[in-house]
């Protein structure tokens, strides 16, 4: 295993198909631009999927789970055991993302990268165990190089599975108690922003809890101030599931598979992926604005306009899944509306 594959070129969106889709939208029976982002989404998907008839029918969701050593610092409202318990819940169908995936007819893959409370072999869970948890990054780097390589590769493997299933759209989700702390640390170093602009309530910390989280982040960032080069921010401050998301986003862009990004943690992974390979950005669509403090800052950094703002702050790919119906409607409008000529409607 190595990091070399990260540097393979990304696929190129098809500019001619984007132009044709834009021209087609202008012929449909509506004032130009009146369907707003439902128009631009269809145009973008046509160019990414390289087809005049884009579709979001076949959706693949991978939820990556991993525990975090920094949970020892008391930065989450919930105990670490929840990560492994939720892996079981994802597989047995009771989690929010399980219900959303079923409702959408989407394929749901759960990947266990290492949980302290290990649920073991379960049907519907791919085991790609790296270690029970990352190390506490207040004390030492979260991961070794070998662990980072394994996590990135596990994400790329999900994209291979999605492609084998003929997926048209890739959604990544995460589960890992304390991962809003890891994501805030990583985003802080990537954006040169103080932790106070990125640390939020996560699973429900009170204001005193958020202040404590900021002091933990300040300690971690002081320790890893030199970790600014290439993959070092991700290795020192990330999590197994965050690194898997980074690997998945880069692999999806290389494979030409469009990605719908979820919330705070996945957007941090997107930021890290774009920092490694700027061409990844073209393959990312942004589903929603999470209520987690700091998400708007991340979206701004990526120049991203999300589709929804529902006050959601769950993760698991739940925000991304909630936006899939809009993508489907955008595709249906693009394919199904009559042109001015077909309908005998006068143009301006």
Active site residues: 316
| 262 forms part of the interface with ligand RBZ (CB under 6 A) | no
Give the binding range for ligand RBZ (CB under 6 A) out of 51-59, 170-178, 224-232, 269-277: 170-178
Q: Torsions phi, psi of 152, nearest 5?
A: -60, -45
Residues 6+ apart with CB under 8 A from 198: 183, 184, 187, 188, 191, 217, 293, 294, 297, 298
Sheet holding 259-261, edge to edge: 125-127, 107-112, 59-65, 169-175, 259-261, 284-286
Could you tell me the sign of the dihedral formed by the alpha carbons of 277, 227, 143, 123, in that order?
negative
| Site track for ligand NIO across 191-220, x = CB under 6 A | -----------xx-----------------
Identify the residue among 48, 82, 87, 246 touching ligand RBZ (CB under 6 A): 82
Identify the residue among 98, 133, 181, 290 touching ligand RBZ (CB under 6 A): 181
| 293 forms part of the interface with ligand NIO (CB under 6 A) | no
Query: Over the Cα atoms of the chain, what is R_g?
Result: 20
Give the binding range for ligand NIO (CB under 6 A) out of 30-38, 81-89, 145-153, 309-317: 309-317
Residue nearest to ligand RBZ (CB): 202
Give the binding range for ligand RBZ (CB under 6 A) out of 113-121, 157-165, 168-176, 334-342: 168-176
| 239 forms part of the interface with ligand NIO (CB under 6 A) | no
Classify each residue of 38-58 as buried b or exposed e, where b means 16 or more C-beta atoms within 10 Å of its C-beta. bbbbbbbbbbbbeeeebbbee
Identify the residue among 195, 313, 321, 324 touching ligand NIO (CB under 6 A): 313
| 84 forms part of the interface with ligand RBZ (CB under 6 A) | no
Identify the residue among 137, 170, 240, 264 touching ligand NIO (CB under 6 A): 264
Q: Is 102 exposed, middle or buried (0-12, 13-18, 19+ CB in 10 A)?
A: exposed
Q: Torsions phi, psi of 251, nearest 5?
A: -65, -35
Tell me the number of residues near ligand NIO by CB under 6 A.
Answer: 13
263 binds, among ligand RBZ, ligand NIO, none (CB under 5 to 8 A by kind): ligand NIO
Identify the residue among 175, 274, 317, 321 touching ligand RBZ (CB under 6 A): 175
Strand, helix or coil at 77?
coil
| 271 forms part of the interface with ligand NIO (CB under 6 A) | no
Q: Is 247 exposed, middle or buried (0-12, 13-18, 19+ CB in 10 A)?
A: buried
Distance CA 236, CA 182 (A): 10
Considering the complex, state which of residue 54 and residue 202 has its C-beta at the smaller distance from ligand NIO.
202
Residues 6+ apart with CB under 8 A from 31: 348
The tally of CA atoms less than 13 A away on the side-chain side of residue 90 is: 31
| 263 forms part of the interface with ligand NIO (CB under 6 A) | yes
Q: At what angle do helices 145-164 and 240-255 cross, to 10 degrees?
A: 50
Identify the residue among 62, 134, 158, 180 touching ligand NIO (CB under 6 A): 180
| 117 forms part of the interface with ligand RBZ (CB under 6 A) | no
**Which residues form the interface with ligand RBZ (CB under 6 A)?**
76-78, 82, 86, 174-181, 202-203, 314-316
**Which residues form the interface with ligand NIO (CB under 6 A)?**
180, 202-203, 262-265, 290, 292, 295, 313-315
């Amino acid at each position: 295993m190595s990091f070399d594959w990260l540097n393979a070129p990304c696929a190129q969106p098809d500019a001619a198909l984007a132009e044709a889709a834009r021209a087609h939208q202008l012929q449909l029976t509506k004032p130009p631009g009146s369907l707003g982002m439902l128009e631009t989404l269809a145009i973008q998907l046509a160019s990414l999927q390289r087809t005049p008839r884009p579709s979001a029918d076949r959706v693949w969701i991978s939820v990556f789970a991993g525990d975090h050593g920094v949970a020892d610092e008391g930065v989450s409202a919930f105990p670490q055991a929840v990560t492994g318990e939720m892996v079981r819940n994802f597989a047995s169908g009771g989690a929010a993302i399980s219900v959303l995936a079923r409702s959408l007819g989407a394929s749901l893959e759960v990947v266990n990268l290492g949980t302290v409370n290990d649920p073991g072999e379960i049907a519907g869970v791919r085991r790609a165990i790296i270690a029970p948890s990352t190390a506490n990054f207040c004390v030492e780097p979260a991961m070794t190089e070998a662990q980072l390589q394994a996590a990135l590769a596990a994400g790329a493997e999900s994209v291979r599975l999605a492609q084998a299933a003929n997926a048209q759209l890739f959604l990544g989700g995460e589960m890992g108690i304390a991962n809003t702390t890891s994501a805030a640390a990583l985003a802080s170093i990537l954006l040169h922003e103080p932790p106070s602009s990125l640390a939020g309530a996560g699973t429900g910390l009170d204001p005193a809890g958020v202040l404590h989280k900021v002091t933990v982040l300040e300690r971690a960032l002081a320790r890893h101030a030199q970790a600014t080069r290439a993959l070092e921010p991700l290795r020192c401050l990330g999590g197994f599931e965050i690194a898997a998301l980074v690997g998945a986003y880069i692999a999806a862009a290389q494979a030409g598979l469009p990605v719908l990004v979820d919330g705070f943690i996945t957007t941090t992974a997107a930021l890290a992926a774009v920092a490694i390979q700027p061409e990844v950005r073209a393959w990312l669509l942004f589903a929603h604005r999470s209520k987690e403090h700091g998400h708007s800052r991340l979206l701004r950094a990526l120049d991203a306009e999300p589709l929804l703002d529902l006050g959601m702050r769950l993760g698991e790919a739940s925000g991304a899944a909630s936006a899939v119906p809009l993508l489907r409607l955008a595709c249906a409008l693009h394919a199904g509306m009559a042109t001015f000529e077909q309908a005998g409607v006068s143009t301006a």
